[in-house]
Copies of this chain bind each other. A is one copy, B any other.
Amino acid sequence: MKQKGILIVVSGFAGTGKSTVVKMLAEKYSEQYALSISMTTREPRKYETHGVEYFFSTKEEFERTIAEDGFIEHACYIGNYYGTPRKYVEEQLEAGKDVLLEIEIQGALQVKEKLPDTMLVFVMPPSAEILFNRLKGRGTETDDVIRKRMLRAVEESQGIEQYDYILVNDDLDVCVEGLHQMIQSEKLRASRNIPFIENMRKELVDLKKGEV
């Protein structure tokens, strides 16, 4: 049953730990998953490294890549571009790897429209209050950014029903394993296994002809 990999988009409000979940999953089952790294024009935070969290680029370089159709999705969020370089994703899927993409809702819906087989997962906090306390308590952002994120969370919450699955991040290890199991199950959807089913049917018909 060697299959092409599937593309999994993970989104969620800022502060739900979605980046950590995705990174831990890719590390825990590194033979199965490939982690897509986004390109962005925003400034790196002090703990971020080019080529690890993001590829940091200039506005000019980003817009040239758009013009060359080099992204499977791109979006603008609080004045900065974010995009998913196409080439790496396609190569990994062809090689049978499941590709994890952590992107915002705008991009997620673009991907789903272009590639309807994409699995969309929205990471939820256990409650709205826990999310708000995390956003305020992280202390790395100005009040203005927090305010924008709160507004953004309300906006993004409008789109959750367009995702395939929700995943509550209460305990990190449980959440990572839950996402892994969710992907394993999704890969067993009948619609993703048509060649296997057709082959079984053909073999049954052949055997019946021979035996009866």
Contact = CB atoms under 8 A, between A and B. Distances in A.
Which of A150, A182, A188, A207 has the largest count of B CB atoms less than 10 A from its CB?
A: A188
B207 A128 contact: yes
A164 B197 CA distance: 13
Given A160-B197, A197-B160, A211-B132, A190 B204 contact: no
B208 A154 contact: yes
Contacts of A204: 128, 131-132, 150, 153-154, 157
Interface string A149-173: 0110110011011111111100000
Interface string A58-84: 000000000000000000000000000
Given A151-B212, A181-B184, A200-B157, A189 B205 contact: no
A122 interface: yes
A193 B157 CA distance: 13
A178 B194 CA distance: 20
A182 B190 contact: no
Contacts of A150: 204, 207-208, 211-212
B194 A161 contact: yes
A97 B128 CA distance: 28
A163 B182 CA distance: 18
A128 B127 CA distance: 48
Interface of A: 1, 122, 124, 127-129, 131-132, 147, 150-151, 153-154, 157-158, 160-168, 178, 181-182, 184-186, 188-191, 193-194, 196-197, 200-201, 203-208, 211-212
